[in-house]
Chains A and B, each alone.
Chain A
Amino acid sequence: MDMSFSPEDLAFRDEVRAFIEEKFPREIANKRSRGDMSKEDILAWHRILHDKGWVTPSWPKEYGGVGWTITQRYIWNEECARAETTPLLPFGLSMVGPVIYSFGNEEQKARFLPGIRSGDDWWCQGYSEPGSGSDLASLRTKAERVGDEYVVNGSKTWTTLAQFADWMFCLVRTDSSVKQQEGISFLLIDMKTPGITVRPIITMDGAHEVNEVFLEDVRVPAENLIGEENKGWTYAKFLLGNERSGIAGVARSKKAIERLKVIAGAELIDGQPLLDEEEFSRKIAEVEIDLAALEVTELRTLASESRGKGPGPESSILKVKGTEVQQRITELTMEAVGNYAFVYSPHGHEQPGNNFVPGPDYSIGASQNYFNMRKTSIYGGSNEIQHNIIAKMVLGL
Chain B
Amino acid sequence: MDFSFTEEQTLLRNMVQGFLQDKYDFETRRKIVSSDEGWRKDYWQEWAELGLLAAPFSEEQGGLGGGAIDTMVIMEEFGRALVVEPYMETVVLAGGFLREGASEAQQAAHIPGIVAGENVWAVAYAEPQGRYNLADLVTTAKADGDGFVLNGYKAVVLGGPWADKLIVTARTSGGQRDSDGVSVFIVDKGAAGVSARDYPTVDGRRASEITFENVKLGADALIGEAGKGLPLVEKVIDQGIGALCAEAVGGMKELNDATVEYCKTRKQFGVPIGKFQVLQHRMVDMFMSYEQSVSMTYMVNMKMDEGDVERTKAASGAKVQIGKAGRFVGQQAVQLHGGMGMTDELNVGHYFKRLTMMDTLFGNVDHHLKRFTNAA
A interface with B by C-beta (< 8 Å): 128, 131-135, 138, 157-158, 201-206, 210, 267-271, 274, 279-280, 334-335, 338-344, 353-354, 356-359, 367-368, 370-371, 374-375, 377-379, 382-384, 387
Contact = CB atoms under 8 A, between A and B. Distances in A.
Nearest to A202: B344
Contacts, number: 138
Nearest to B282: A384
B4 interface: no
B177 A338 contact: no
Contacts of A368: 202
A319 to B, nearest CB: 14
B345 interface: yes
A375 B177 contact: no
Q: Which 7 A-B pairs have the closest CB atoms?
A: A204-B349, A135-B268, A202-B344, A339-B156, A344-B200, A342-B201, A358-B209
Given A204-B350, A206-B344, A279-B370, 9 more contacts: A128-B339, A134-B268, A138-B268, A201-B345, A340-B128, A343-B202, A344-B199, A354-B198, A371-B349
Interface in B328-376: 331, 334-335, 338-339, 341-345, 349-350, 352-353, 356-357, 360, 364, 366, 369-370
Contacts of A334: 356
B207 interface: yes
Interface stretch (B53-61, B129-137, B182-190): B129-137
B2 to A, nearest CB: 38
A338 B132 CA distance: 8
B232 interface: no
Contacts of B343: 201-204
B199 A358 contact: yes
Nearest to A280: B366
B198 A356 contact: yes
B166 interface: no
Interface in B137-172: 155-156, 158
Contact of B342 (A267, A268, A340, A378): A378
A271 B126 CA distance: 14
B129 A268 contact: yes
B176 interface: yes
B234 interface: no
Interface residues of B, number: 50
Given A268-B131, A270-B136, A384 B201 contact: no
B156 A340 contact: yes
A268 B132 CA distance: 10
Contacts of B334: 374, 378
A270 B349 CA distance: 33
A269 B197 CA distance: 25
Given A204-B353, A339-B360, A354 B199 contact: yes
A201 B340 CA distance: 10
B278 interface: yes
A158 B203 contact: no
A340 B155 contact: yes
Nearest to A354: B199
A203 B334 CA distance: 12
Contacts of B268: 132-135, 138
A138 B268 CA distance: 8
Contacts of B3: none
B357 A357 contact: no
Interface of B: 36, 126, 128-129, 131-133, 136, 155-156, 158, 176-177, 197-203, 207, 209, 267-269, 273, 276, 278-279, 331, 334-335, 338-339, 341-345, 349-350, 352-353, 356-357, 360, 364, 366, 369-370
Given A204-B344, A344-B200, A271 B366 contact: no
B360 A375 contact: no
A268 B126 CA distance: 13
A270 B177 contact: yes
Contacts of A357: 199
Contact of A342 (B132, B207, B278, B338): B207
B197 A204 contact: no
B198 to A, nearest CB: 7
A131 to B, nearest CB: 8
Contacts of B278: 384, 387
A358 B127 CA distance: 12
B292 to A, nearest CB: 21
Contacts of A371: 202, 349, 352-353, 356
Contacts of A340: 128, 155-156
Contacts of A270: 131, 133, 136, 177
A344 B155 contact: no
Contact of B360 (A280, A342, A377): A342
A267 B201 CA distance: 20
Contacts of B331: 374
A374 B335 CA distance: 8
B156 to A, nearest CB: 4
26 contacts: A131-B267, A133-B268, A133-B339, A135-B269, A202-B344, A203-B344, A203-B349, A268-B129, A274-B131, A334-B356, A335-B364, A339-B126, A339-B128, A341-B357, A342-B156, A343-B156, A354-B200, A358-B197, A359-B128, A371-B356, A374-B335, A374-B341, A378-B335, A382-B335, A384-B279, A387-B278
B4 to A, nearest CB: 37
A206 B126 CA distance: 26
Contacts of B364: 335
A342 B208 CA distance: 11
A327 to B, nearest CB: 8
Contacts of A374: 331, 334-335, 341-342, 352
A163 B202 CA distance: 25
B132 to A, nearest CB: 7
B197 A367 contact: no
Quick one: which of A268, A269, A387 has the most chain B CB within 10 A?
A269
A26 to B, nearest CB: 28
Nearest to B359: A335
Nearest to B346: A204
Nearest to B327: A331
B136 A271 contact: yes
Contact of A378 (B133, B338, B356): B338
Contacts of B352: 204, 371, 374
Contacts of B197: 356, 358
Contacts of A157: 339
Contacts of A279: 366, 369-370
